[in-house]
Amino acid sequence: MGAPQILSELNKHPADEYIFRDDESHTYSIRLPEDSSDANLPELVSVTRLTEKYFKPFDAVRVSQLVSSTCYSIVGHRYEGMSANDLQKQWADNSDDARTQGHKLHRAIELFFNPDMCIETEESQDLHCLRQCDEYQQFEQFWSEFQSTRLSQGDSVVPYRTEWIIYDRSARVAGTVDMLFKNSDDTYTLVDWKRVKKLDRTGRDRGVGLLSKYANCNLTKYTFQLNVYRYILENVYGLKIRSAFLVAMHPTRDTYHVEPIPKEPFTSDVVHRLFQSLRATHVLRWSLSQNLKHNERIKRDSED
């Protein structure tokens, strides 16, 4: 019997030992043995939360009131007869369902690349049903065609890690990489799986702060997130990312869509500056806390 094919064991990184994720709250924490310095620094912020900081969330209350006042009496309209509260509930339910189905798709893909990973019976039944769905068929089509294209170019691609929790300790940022492939030239390809109907390229609003010149739309957010992962992998983990893209899949799509995610100008314009600022802020905070500890120790010693 061969060794278990679990990518996190085959390609384990030393940093994996110290980072943990609470799946219920989707929060991250670092646990370092015999090291108390992190106690004086802020909790880790997830890449998702970091993204939310720079983009105003969808205002369901305001929009539902506007839509209801406009469409309530329009015969045949999909929102006919729906109050603002009805709309908010429908949107919240749709969002919850999309999140659940997206999680299941991610899990199914993770198990595809880790065939020896143990799962519960109930989850196995759910995944069996999901593998018959259109979005999973789109994933399988992508993987087959992606491999074929690479091989025709004389460039093999090997699954390296799935659902990889990575972090930058000094910047206090952590996140989960959907997929990382290793290329034949020892570089890597970064991939994000998205169960999404469409990719919005424009928005009525713009981001704030460093992202004030970028549209508040899902593609901008995905681009930001993927470039944060790329930055951490290259600058903390020492991996060279040759390319990055997201794969959009959804039951309403005829087939999958691959969206290349460029490194520039996003990385130098936003991500690099952001991480420099985060590190400087946290180092200063840590330094001040150490000075305070030092002064308290001197005071205690003098009193003794």
Element (H, E) at 260: strand 257-260
For residue 238, the enclosing domain spans 7-303
At residue 57, the pLDDT reads 80
15: pLDDT strictly greater than 80 = yes
279: pLDDT strictly greater than 90 = no
Percent of the chain residues topping a pLDDT of 90: 53
At residue 110, the pLDDT reads 94
Site of tokens 């539902």: 64
291: pLDDT strictly greater than 50 = no
Average pLDDT value for residue range 176-195? 97
How many CB atoms sit inside 10 A of residue 117's CB? 16
Average pLDDT value for residue range 171-181? 96
When divided into structural domains, the chain yields a total of 1
Q: What are phi and psi of 126, to 5 degrees?
A: -60, -45
Counting Cβ atoms within 10 Å, is residue 293 exposed (0-12), middle (13-18) or buried (19+)? Answer: exposed
At residue 293, the pLDDT reads 47
Q: Tokens standing for 200?
A: 């919005």
Q: What are phi and psi of 206, to 5 degrees?
A: -125, 170
- Tell me the three-class secondary structure of 1-54, residue by residue: CCCCCCHHHHCCCHHHHHEEEECCCCEEEECCCCCCHHHHCCCCEEHHHHHHHC
Percent of the chain residues topping a pLDDT of 70: 87
37: pLDDT strictly greater than 80 = no
241: pLDDT strictly greater than 90 = yes
Q: What Cα–Cα distance (Å) separates residue 211 from each residue in 61, 217, 230, 264, 296?
A: 25, 12, 18, 14, 41
At residue 138, the pLDDT reads 97
Q: What Cα–Cα distance (Å) separates residue 34 from each residue in 15, 38, 42, 233, 276?
A: 16, 11, 18, 26, 27
What is the distance between the alpha carbons of residues 48 and 204, in angstroms, rounded to a whole number?
21
What is the distance between the alpha carbons of residues 74 and 60, in angstroms, rounded to a whole number?
21
Whether 1 maps to a domain, the answer reads no
Whether 197 maps to a domain, the answer reads yes
At residue 168, the pLDDT reads 93
Counting Cβ atoms within 10 Å, is residue 274 exposed (0-12), middle (13-18) or buried (19+)? Answer: buried
Whether 111 maps to a domain, the answer reads yes
Please state whether the peptide bond connecting residue 33 to the residue before it is cis, i.e. omega within 30 degrees of 0.
no
Whether 269 maps to a domain, the answer reads yes
Whether 128 maps to a domain, the answer reads yes
Residue 290's pLDDT band (boundaries 50, 70, 90)? very low
Whether 250 maps to a domain, the answer reads yes
Q: Name the pTM for this structure.
A: 0.86
Whether 251 maps to a domain, the answer reads yes
Beta strand ranges found along 118-237 (DSSP E) = 157-168, 173-183, 188-195
At residue 287, the pLDDT reads 47
Higher-pLDDT residue of 103, 36: 103
What is the distance between the alpha carbons of residues 247 and 138, in angstroms, rounded to a whole number?
10
What is the distance between the alpha carbons of residues 225 and 215, in angstroms, rounded to a whole number?
14
| 73-119 pLDDT, tens digit each | 888 888 888 888 988 898 888 888 888 888 889 999 999 999 888 77
Whether 2 maps to a domain, the answer reads no
- Tell me the three-class secondary structure of 91-115, residue by residue: HHHHHHHHHHHHHHHHHHHHHHHCC
